[in-house]
Amino acid sequence: MFSYENLPSLPPPKTILTTAASLTASAVLFKSLAADIIPVDINEYFKTCFKRFSSELTIVIQESDGLTPNHLFESANIYLGSKLSPLTRRIKVQKPEKDNEFTVTVDRNQVIVDVFQNVKCKWVLQSERVEVGHNSNARPCEVKYFELSFHKKHKETMLKKYLGYVVRKGKEIKEESKTVKLHTVDYNGTDYWGSIVLNHPATFETMAMDEEKKVEIMEDLDLFIRRKEYYRRVGKAWKRGYLFYGPPGTGKSSLVAAMANYLKFDVYDLDLREVQCNSDLRRLLIGTKNRSIIVIEDIDCNVGVQSRELDQEPNDDDKITLSGLLNFIDGLWSSCGDERIIVFTTNHKDRLDEALLRPGRMDVHLEMSYCTYGGFKVLASTYLQVKEEEKLEVFHVIKDLLEKVKVTPAEIAGELMKSENVEIVLKNVVHWLRVKEQINST
């Protein structure tokens, strides 16, 4: 029969700790002596032999190949920032000056474990110091690289599926946290563009538009975004053209901001009055990035691009012409990038040359009209936080008046901001609309 009395007695805890510390110190000392005594070549030989018999395969992903950044390294850095575990002891946090969001990435020598299709793998960010240059011009430089380790039998899965997955996820994470920027023409910059953060709060939910038009625009944008392979198959540049037209104050600029916030696309505000010639126009186009919206507002106010008849003068490259603009929209220069949206706005569609309006240049023509009752309900909900069912009687009075009076969403918004008292605001809106009705009837 088993008895605890037959077991040898354990030494005191102090003796155990002392012995463990002694063994640890001896191991460290032996490792240090081995590194000093055993030649480097023999040391490396033993390491090579160990790896040869190991079942683990390691892929090295360098930060750059000389001067060319490694897109896979950047994607992995972003992707692994979303895979941090409670065991991770060190992380890096950055915030670029022109961004609103913090960027979280892993630090060196931190093991990140990931699982893909039931395959377990380990990531470690490493770095080493190297000498760049020759002789007296040599200078130390830090080279970063990821080591991705896994069982070698999964090599095909890792190379053909997992790394592509990491690139896609890295792109998605980057776009989700992206700060939308507004770029304006700046001839002092290296690419002719200067930028600031676009803090415009407009969204499709707050746009005082007809609901059907909203849905149509959003569905059109979604279709455009997911058709990369389609555009490539049919041989067309991956871009989409929109024309927003209507009276001032109907929300054309706000709609551009809502599109940018919806897609997380940067906005390039191209004021043709600041562009000196067609050559500058081409340089500006090259300076724009993928996944962007290029906006040309009040196109009817730019005399040089109103008609093809004005293109007949010599030295066309010394000024902006309609031909130059058309080449900008759908010529060879328009193919210098992907996922681009071009938006024209105008108060007078009838003043534009037909060459600008044909499909392929302006694919979607959207009239921004006066405020409808549906638009008013959106504005009332946004500005006053009041719904139709809460003020049914006064809302129906406003509905009848809006069918008789033409007012812009901007005008309605201005009236809704004049007081914090909902009752007073709605009463004043009714009075204001009735005055408008009387003026129109006289």
Same domain? For 317 and 217 the reply is yes
Together in a domain, 246 and 199: yes
pLDDT for position 357: 81
Q: Are residues 344 and 390 in the same domain?
A: no
Residues 155 and 230 in one domain: no
Q: How far apart are CA 84 and CA 217, in angstroms?
A: 38
Last residue of a domain, one of 117, 142, 176: 176
Task: Say yes or no: 225 and 335 in one domain.
Answer: yes
Tens of pLDDT along 419-438? Answer: 999 999 999 999 999 999 88
User: Containing domain of residue 117, as a range?
Assistant: 27-176
Q: Which of 59-73, 183-197, 281-295, 403-417 has the highest mean pLDDT?
A: 403-417
Give a yes or no: residue 203 inside a domain: yes
In a shared domain, residues 257 and 297: yes
Q: What is the pLDDT of residue 267?
A: 95
Give the pLDDT confidence score for residue 14 in this predicted structure: 60
pLDDT of 321 > 80? The answer is no
pLDDT of residue 15: 64
Are 143 and 194 in a shared domain?
A: no
In a domain, 80, yes or no: yes
191 and 87 inside one domain: no
* Confidence class for position 314, pLDDT limits 50, 70, 90: very low
Structural domain total, the chain:
3
187 and 62 within one domain: no
Q: What percentage of the chain carries pLDDT values higher than 70?
A: 79
- Clarify whether residues 49 and 166 are in a common domain: yes
Taking the C-alpha atoms of residue 290 and residue 267, their distance in angstroms, rounded to an integer, is 11
Q: Is residue 16 part of a domain?
A: no
Residues 209-226 pLDDT 10s: 888 899 999 999 999 999
Q: Are residues 244 and 219 in the same domain?
A: yes
**Does residue 5 fall inside a structural domain?**
no
Residues 120 and 259 in one domain: no
Task: Give the percent of the chain with pLDDT over 90.
Answer: 42
At residue 237, does pLDDT exceed 80? yes
Residue 7 pLDDT > 50, yes or no? Answer: no
Residue 20 placed within a domain: no
Domain end call among 334, 367, 400: 367
Domain end call among 176, 192, 207: 176
Q: Which tens digit of pLDDT belongs to each residue from 13-62?
A: 666 556 655 655 555 555 555 555 656 566 555 555 555 567 899 999 99
Q: What is the tens place of the pLDDT at every residue in 121-179?
A: 999 999 888 776 666 666 777 889 999 999 999 999 999 999 999 999 998 888 877 88
Q: Does 374 reside within a domain?
A: no
The CATH number of residue 251's host domain is 3.40.50.300
